[in-house]
Chain A
Amino acid sequence: DAMVIQNPRYQVTQFGKPVTLSCSQTLNHNVMYWYQQKSSQAPKLLFHYYDKDFNNEADTPDNFQSRRPNTSFCFLDIRSPGLGDAAMYLCATSRGGAGTDTQYFGPGTRLTVL
């Protein structure tokens, strides 16, 4: 009965080689988030979708893109990964709207850049 699913759990890529991380949800939530988390730090929001509306954080590098083809799926694309992009990438969802702001996180994808 997994609610927020991330694939793969571990991803290894080469410097500069594009990579896509996947997130799916069975909660039918309106909002999907992507966070980057580096060791011993709090999750850092990259962007989120409210339905089809994309909301980018001001300090998210252009190297990071996202797609949400439908309610259930959301993808994180890293166009040219650098060594500094090695991190845990977390997907989260929330229902959206007043009083429904609880975020539920997936297990994360650990990205290694060689």
Chain B
Amino acid sequence: GENVEQHPSTLSVQEGDSAVIKCTYSDSASNYFPWYKQELGKGPQLIIDIRSNVGEKKDQRIAVTLNKTAKHFSLHITETQPEDSAVYFCAVHKAAGNKLTFGGGTRVLVKP
């Protein structure tokens, strides 16, 4: 089955700095890569996603890059703010089936 590794598990940054989270996956048939943000006591919220036919996608301060050859993708948050503090999960979806495989999560703390 699919295996998704996410690093780092915790990340502390100063407000205004950038944060980068990386995920690697094992199944080359995977074709959809969402990122979720989960605040304490809430459900995961989709913040950005990318499909396998695209190498990079950006939405304001958030960007995702995908390297299909190396089977890894990354979340980039620029100009971090305290409200970016949360747990972030990457996930991977295969072309067949309706299931996501999640990474282990990264706890991000933005220090004011």
Contacts and interface: CB of A to CB of B under 8 A. Distances in A.
Given A102-B34, A102-B49, A104-B46, A110 B102 contact: no
Nearest to B89: A42
B42 A43 contact: no
Interface in A44-65: 45, 48, 50, 55
Interface residues of A, number: 25
A7 interface: no
Q: Is the interface of B mostly helix, strand, loop or mixed?
A: strand
Contact of B32 (A43, A45, A101, A110): A101
Interface of B: 32, 34, 36, 41-46, 49, 51, 87, 89, 93, 95, 98-100, 102-105, 107
12 contacts: A42-B89, A42-B104, A48-B99, A90-B44, A99-B51, A101-B93, A102-B49, A105-B46, A107-B42, A108-B42, A108-B43, A110-B41
